[in-house]
Amino acid sequence: MRKGLTSYGDEGFSLFLRKAFIKAMGYSGDALDRPIIGIANTYSGFNPCHRTAPEVAEAIRRGVTMAGGLAIDFPTISLHESFAWPTSMFYRNLMAMDTEEMLRALPVDAVVMIGGCDKTVPAQLMAAASSNVPTLITVTGPMMTGDYKGERLGACTDCRRLWGLHRAGEIGEAEIDEIGGRLMPTAGTCMVMGTASTMALMTEALGMMLPGGAAIPAVHADRLRHAEASGARAVEMAAEGLTPDKIMTPQAFANALRILLAIGGSTNGLIHMTAVAGRLGIEVDLDAFDEMGRETPVLVDLKPSGAGYMEDLQKAGGLTTILREIRDLLHLDAPTCTGHTLGQNIDKAPADWDQKVVRKRDNPVYKEGGIAVLRGNLCPGGSAIIKQSGADEALMKHTGRAVVFDSLEDMANRIDDPDLDVRPDDVLVLRNAGPKGAPGMPESGYIPIPKKLAQQGVRDLVRISDARMSGTAFGSVALHVCPEAAIGGPLALVRDGDSITLDVPNRRLNLDVSEEELEKRRAAWTPPTLDWAERGYPRLHMQHVQQADEGCDLDFLTKRPFTAKTPI
C-alpha cells in the first residue's frame, strides 16, 4: 500500500488517506498488509474473445488468496479485432500505455494480466517490459471448433475460405449467413494458428506465462486451474522480485521467435515481439531471424498452414511438445516466470505421447520456418515479409504485371469491377495501408481475389502490400513493405503494368524498373495528406508511430539506443 503514494506533501497523510479510502471496499487491515497482486481485467461487452475474463479473474484471485496475497483487479482497455475502428492495431500502443501507466500508478507488488485477443497480449507484454512490475500473462484461451454439415470449422481461416467461395458464387446469401452462426461456437480466441494463438505460444516460450497455459481451450476447467496457479505464483514472484527484465532477455526472445517459426505463426507475431523487445532496448535482427527460419521447420499441423485447431494442439501436449521437438535449437538456460529455466520446465512437464499434431523434424509441415524476410528495391533500407508456409509453392518464384490499388477505398471500389484489367499471373499491389497510410496498418494485405478471377477458379495470386494480414489468413502475400508508401517508400512509385519479381528462395522483392525512371517518378510524387488526425491519440499515433520492421511502436516508447540484439 506504500508504493507510489499520491502526493499530498505529507507521506503519512497520503498513506492514511489511501488506507481509509480502500477500507470502503471492505478490506480488513490484515488483508491490506499482504502482498497486493493486481489483476489486469480485460472483460468488455464488446470483446467476445474475453467473455470468460470474469471467471479467469476469479480463479486468479483464488490462487492469490491461497498463497497469502490480496488480489485487486482493475480494468484496462480491451481490444477485439472486429470492434476497433479503423483497426485494432491502431490502439495496441494505447492499450500498452494504459496498462503501463496503471501499473505505475497503482500500488501492486505483482500483476497477472488476462490477455487473449490479438493485440491484448502484445500490449500487455509491452506494458510489463516498460513498467518492470513482476508480471504473469494468462489468456482466455482458444475457442472450440464449430461445425457445418459435418465439416469442422474454425475462425477465422474458414471464415475467409468460405467467404471466398461466397464471392465466387458457390455459396449463396442464406447459406453464408447460416455458416456465420457456426464459426464461433464458444467463448475464446480464434482457434486456428492466428495471432492470438501465436502470441499465447510465444509468450509461454518467452517465459512470461506459466507452462502449459497457451493452448488450453477457453471453456476447459484446466484454464481456470492455470489461472489459479498463476495467481499463486504471482505472490511468490512479488517476494522474489522477479521482474520482466530478468525474464525477457535476448535469449528468451530468441526462443519466442524460434517458436513463431516452428508453429507457422502469424506474421503479426514478428511485429509485436519487435515492439516488446524494443521496450527493453533489444533490437530484433531480421537477417538473423531469417537465418533462423532456414533451419527451423514448421512442425505444428494447424490451420492456416496445416489442418488442425488449437484444441488438437492442447491434446497433443501444447507448447511443451513443440519445445521438446526443437530442444537443441533453444536457449534452455533462459530464466522463466516459474523461477526455473526453460530447460528445467521442459524436464518437469509430463512425458510426451504418440500424437499427430506436432510433427517430427524429419516429417515437417513445411521444410523451413513459416516466415521469410524479403529485401529488394521495393523495400530499400527496410524489409517485407511473407508467410511462405501459408502460400502457394508455385508462386514463390514469380514475375508478373502490377495491378495497383492506391488505397483501401480504391481497392474496395475496383476489385470486383468486371472491367478490371487483371490476369491470374498478375501481381496485385495495395499501398497507403501502412502504419501511417491507412492509418494503423490494417489487416487488409490479404487482398481479395478479384471476383472475375475467383469465378474462374483462381484461389491464390501474388499480392504485395504495406498492410498486415490476419494470422488466420493464407496466400502468397508479401506484407509489411517498408518504408510504407505514405512516407515515400518505393511502393508509392509502382504503376499499373510494371514488372514485379517475388523470389522467396532468394529472399528478393523487386520492382523491375530502372533507378533512373524511379527517380523521375519520385520527383513527380505527391505525398498523401496525413493530417486527418488533428487531436488526441490519433495525432500522437501519426506523429510518432514507427515502421513495421521497428514494431510499429511509438518512437518515444522504444528504449534507444539498443543495447542488445535478438535472435542470438
Rounded Cα gap, residues 529 and 533, in angstroms: 10
Return the range that interacts with ligand FES (CB under 6 A); candidates 36-44, 189-197, 336-344, 406-414: 189-197
Q: For the CB of residue 116, give the shortest distance to ligand FES in the complex, in Å.
A: 7
Q: Does 81 bind ligand FES (CB under 6 A)?
A: yes
Task: Copy the grid coordinates of residue 171.
Answer: 455459396
CB nearer to ligand FES: give 99 or 189: 189
Count of residues of this chain found to bind ligand FES when the rule CB under 6 A is applied: 9
Q: For the CB of residue 146, give the shortest distance to ligand FES in the complex, in Å.
A: 13
Task: Copy the grid coordinates of residue 455.
Answer: 469465378
Residue with cell 464449430: 146
CB nearer to ligand FES: give 125 or 403: 125
Q: For the CB of residue 217, give the shortest distance to ligand FES in the complex, in Å.
A: 13
Contact 219, 531 (CB under 8 A): no
Q: For the CB of residue 117, give the shortest distance to ligand FES in the complex, in Å.
A: 3
CB nearer to ligand FES: give 80 or 167: 80
* First-to-final CA distance of the chain: 40
CB nearer to ligand FES: give 27 or 83: 83
Return the residue of 189, 338, 345, 510 that touches ligand FES, per CB under 6 A. Answer: 189
Rounded Cα gap, residues 502 and 491, in angstroms: 14
Q: Does 118 bind ligand FES (CB under 6 A)?
A: yes
Q: For the CB of residue 215, give the shortest distance to ligand FES in the complex, in Å.
A: 14
Q: For the CB of residue 549, give the shortest distance to ligand FES in the complex, in Å.
A: 24
Return the residue of 110, 112, 139, 190 that touches ligand FES, per CB under 6 A. Answer: 190
Q: Is 49 helix (H, G, I), strand (E, B) or coil?
A: helix
What type of residue sits at position 342? Answer: L
Burial of 519 (0-12, 13-18, 19+ CB in 10 A): exposed
Residues in contact with ligand FES, shown as a per-residue x/- string from 24 to 53 under the rule CB under 6 A: -------------------------x----
Residue with cell 508509392: 492
Q: Is 38 helix (H, G, I), strand (E, B) or coil?
A: strand
Per DSSP, 426 falls in state -
Contact 392, 283 (CB under 8 A): no
Return the residue of 64, 121, 153, 196 that touches ligand FES, per CB under 6 A. Answer: 196
Q: Does 486 bind ligand FES (CB under 6 A)?
A: no
- According to CB under 6 A, which residues from 157 to 186 bind ligand FES? none
Return the range that interacts with ligand FES (CB under 6 A); candidates 188-196, 321-329, 427-435, 550-558: 188-196
CB nearer to ligand FES: give 114 or 196: 196
Q: Tell how far CA 46 is from the center of its chain.
A: 19
CB nearer to ligand FES: give 159 or 300: 159
Q: For the CB of residue 467, give the shortest distance to ligand FES in the complex, in Å.
A: 17
CB nearer to ligand FES: give 49 or 270: 49
Return the residue of 95, 117, 385, 428 that touches ligand FES, per CB under 6 A. Answer: 117
Return the range that interacts with ligand FES (CB under 6 A); candidates 187-195, 222-230, 372-380, 503-511: 187-195
Q: Is 395 helix (H, G, I), strand (E, B) or coil?
A: helix
Helix (H) or strand (E) holding 177: helix 173-180
CB nearer to ligand FES: give 100 or 118: 118
CB nearer to ligand FES: give 111 or 191: 191
CB nearer to ligand FES: give 56 or 247: 56
CB nearer to ligand FES: give 255 or 268: 268
Q: For the CB of residue 395, give the shortest distance to ligand FES in the complex, in Å.
A: 26
Rounded Cα gap, residues 182 and 302, in angstroms: 19
Q: For the CB of residue 48, give the shortest distance to ligand FES in the complex, in Å.
A: 8
Q: Does 138 bind ligand FES (CB under 6 A)?
A: no
State the Cα torsion 509-511-512-514 to the nearest 10°.
-130
Q: DSSP letters of 72-139? A: EEEE-----TTSSSS-THHHHHHHHHHHHHHHHHS--SEEEEEE-STTHHHHHHHHHHHH---EEEEE
Q: In the Cβ-directed half-sphere of 155, how many Cα atoms lie within 13 Å?
A: 23
Q: DSSP letters of 430-496? A: E-S-STTTTTS--S--SPPPPHHHHTTT-----EEESS---TT--SSEEE--SS-GGGT-GGGG--T
State the Cα torsion 391-395-400-406 to the nearest 10°.
0
Q: Which of 138, 160, 330 is nearest to 223 (CA)?
A: 138
Q: Does 80 bind ligand FES (CB under 6 A)?
A: yes
CB nearer to ligand FES: give 190 or 481: 190
Return the range that interacts with ligand FES (CB under 6 A); candidates 158-166, 190-198, 216-224, 500-508: 190-198
CB nearer to ligand FES: give 81 or 283: 81
Return the residue of 194, 217, 390, 445 that touches ligand FES, per CB under 6 A. Answer: 194
What are the residues binding ligand FES (CB under 6 A)? 49, 80-81, 117-118, 189-190, 194, 196
